[in-house]
Each structure stands twice: as structure tokens, then as C-alpha cells.
């Protein structure tokens, strides 16, 4: 079974631009959670989607948004990029609803650099 | 105030040693995870537990809800165990918190 895939793996943007990251979960998994990892803040939970609905959200500004499609693939969007948004963005999928409540399988991450 | 504290921050061990990594938290939790992150960023979920003890191969995770403490043990450590180990938990308000991680290096 293929693992969680994320595209692109690396991305360079400039301040003020927007970016869309994609995550394809393991086949059959319906929950996708997104995380941000920075050297200063460590890992932080962004949000979780299940059956195309956002079920849980971390403490991030509205510039961070996401969505999930009917095939469970998920996208994350960051608008008006700031230097501090430079990070590794990880997604994780799980079989049932509740993201962090369940065993999660992580993708390799997308490394975003904002210049 | 940090809701979760991990110790030690860095750990170097000789191959074959028994290793313990600790995670203490200050709030009520619903579940606790132990994660392993290798250089390059890939994360693997090792355990999810809400009580007692779980074992998988050379890895053992324990949690004491009353003392608000969890430990991850590695028996007969091996250089391939070198990674960052992170504890994470859901509090009763469904917020997900991560520890700062323990960087483990196992020397052959």
C-alpha cells in the first residue's frame, strides 16, 4: 500500500505570495491532519479534515486554510506569506475521524522557504 | 508555561545500552503519542496510549495518568535508533500539544 504523499517536496516563495500544498492519504484513510514544524516552535497542529469537513483546528491565523476533496486528498493554503511561515509542513492520515486521536501515518513533508 | 516537558533534550548512548526518554505534562489528557523523526524530516508514529504500557519490538512505552508522566524505553539500542523522539498529546479540550523532542545518538 502506498504511503502518504505530499507535493511539492520543496518550495521557495517570496513574502506576500500565496502557496498551496497537497497531501494524498493512504488509500482508505479518510482523515488528514496538517502540522507545521519550525526550529523555534517545534511541531504544531494546524487542522484536521474528515469527510471533507474541518473537525479540529489549532491556533493559527486565518491565512492558513485547508480543504479536503471527496477522494480524501487534502490541500493546505497559506495566503500573504510571511518570513515566519518558512517551515516543514507535514500531513498525516488516519483511518477514522479524530486525527490525533488515532494512529497517524505521516508524509515526508513539504519544506517551504519564504524569502 | 509549557504544557509538556521532555527530558533529556539530547542523549548519546553506546550501542546496546538501555535508554529512557521522559515526558511530563501538566494538563488532563485524552491520549499520548510517541513519535520518531529521522534526519530529513520523516515522522513515524511509534505508540499511542491512554493508560498502562505498550511494547513493540525493542520499544516500550508507559504512561502514568495520575503522575502525568510517560516514558519511552529502548532496549538494546542500535545506531539505527538515532533520531529525534517526540511526545505529543491531546488534552481534554482536544488541543494537540508536542514536546520539544529528545535527540538520540547511538554510537556503534
Cell 480543504, located at residue = A67
Cell numbers that stand for B99 in this block? 514536546
Cell 547511538, located at residue = B106
CB contact under 8 A, B33 and A88: no
Rg (CA), chain B: 13
* Chain A CA closest to residue B29: A101
What residues in chain A have their Cβ under 8 A from chain B's Cβ atoms? 37, 42-45, 56, 58-59, 88, 90, 92, 99-106, 108-109, 111
Quickly count helices (H) and strands (E) in chain B: 0, 11
**Per-residue pLDDT in tens (0 to 9) along chain B, 108 residues:** 568 889 999 999 999 999 999 999 988 887 889 999 988 778 999 999 888 999 999 999 999 988 999 999 999 999 999 999 999 988 777 778 899 899 999 999
Tens digit of each residue's pLDDT (9 = 90 or more) over A31-42: 999 999 998 888
Give the per-residue pLDDT at B42. 84
Q: State how far residue B98 is from chain A, nearest Cα, in angstroms.
A: 6
Q: How many CB atoms lie within 10 A of CB A91?
A: 29
Hey, which residues does B38 pair with through a beta bridge?
none
Q: Please state which of the ranges A66-75, A92-101, B71-80 shows the lowest mean pLDDT.
A: A92-101
CB contact under 8 A, A100 and B101: no
| B36, B44, B94: best to mutate for the A interface, most A CBs within 10 A | B94
- Angstrom distance (rounded) from CA A32 to CA A91: 7
Of B42, B90, B98, the CB nearest to A101: B90
Sign of CA dihedral A24, A29, A32, A37: negative
> φ and ψ at A38, to 5 degrees?
-125, 155
**Pick from B86, B87, B56, B82: nearest CA to B69:** B87
Of B43, B90, B99, the CB nearest to A106: B43
CB contact under 8 A, B95 and A58: yes
- Is pLDDT at A1 greater than 90 in this prediction? no
Residues in chain A: 115
- Start-end of H helices in chain A: none
| Residue partners of A23: CB distance under 8 A and separation at least 6 | A4, A5, A6, A32, A34, A73, A74, A75, A76, A91, A93, A107
Evaluate whether A9 touches A22 at the Cβ level (below 8 Å): no
Cell numbers that stand for A100 in this block? 490525533
Give the per-residue pLDDT at A99. 67
β-strand pairing of A10-13 with A110-114: parallel
Amino acid at each position: 500500500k502506498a504511503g502518504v504523499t505530499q507535493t511539492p517536496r520543496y518550495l521557495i516563495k517570496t513574502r506576500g505570495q500565496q502557496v498551496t500544498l497537497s497531501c494524498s492519504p493512504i488509500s482508505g484513510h479518510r482523515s488528514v491532519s496538517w502540522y507545521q514544524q519550525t526550529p523555534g516552535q517545534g511541531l504544531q497542529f494546524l487542522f484536521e479534515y474528515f469527510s471533507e469537513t474541518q473537525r479540529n483546528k489549532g491556533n493559527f491565523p486565518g491565512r492558513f486554510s485547508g480543504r479536503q476533496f471527496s477522494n480524501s486528498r487534502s490541500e493546505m493554503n497559506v495566503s500573504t506569506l510571511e518570513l515566519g511561515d518558512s517551515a516543514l509542513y507535514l500531513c498525516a492520515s488516519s483511518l477514522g475521524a479524530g486525527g490525533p486521536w488515532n494512529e497517524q501515518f505521516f508524509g515526508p513533508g513539504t519544506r517551504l522557504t519564504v524569502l | 508555561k509549557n504544557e509538556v516537558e521532555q527530558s533529556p533534550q539530547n542523549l548519546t548512548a553506546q550501542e546496546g545500552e538501555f535508554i529512557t526518554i521522559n515526558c511530563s505534562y501538566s494538563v488532563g489528557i485524552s491520549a499520548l503519542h510517541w513519535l520518531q523523526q529521522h534526519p530529513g524530516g520523516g515522522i513515524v508514529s511509534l505508540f499511542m496510549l491512554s493508560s498502562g504500557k505498550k511494547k513493540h519490538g525493542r520499544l516500550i512505552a508507559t504512561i502514568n495518568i495520575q503522575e502525568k508522566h510517560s516514558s519511552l524505553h529502548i532496549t538494546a539500542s542500535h545506531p539505527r535508533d538515532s533520531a529525534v523522539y517526540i511526545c505529543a498529546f491531546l488534552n481534554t479540550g482536544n488541543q494537540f500539544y508536542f514536546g520539544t523532542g529528545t535527540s538520540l545518538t547511538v554510537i556503534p
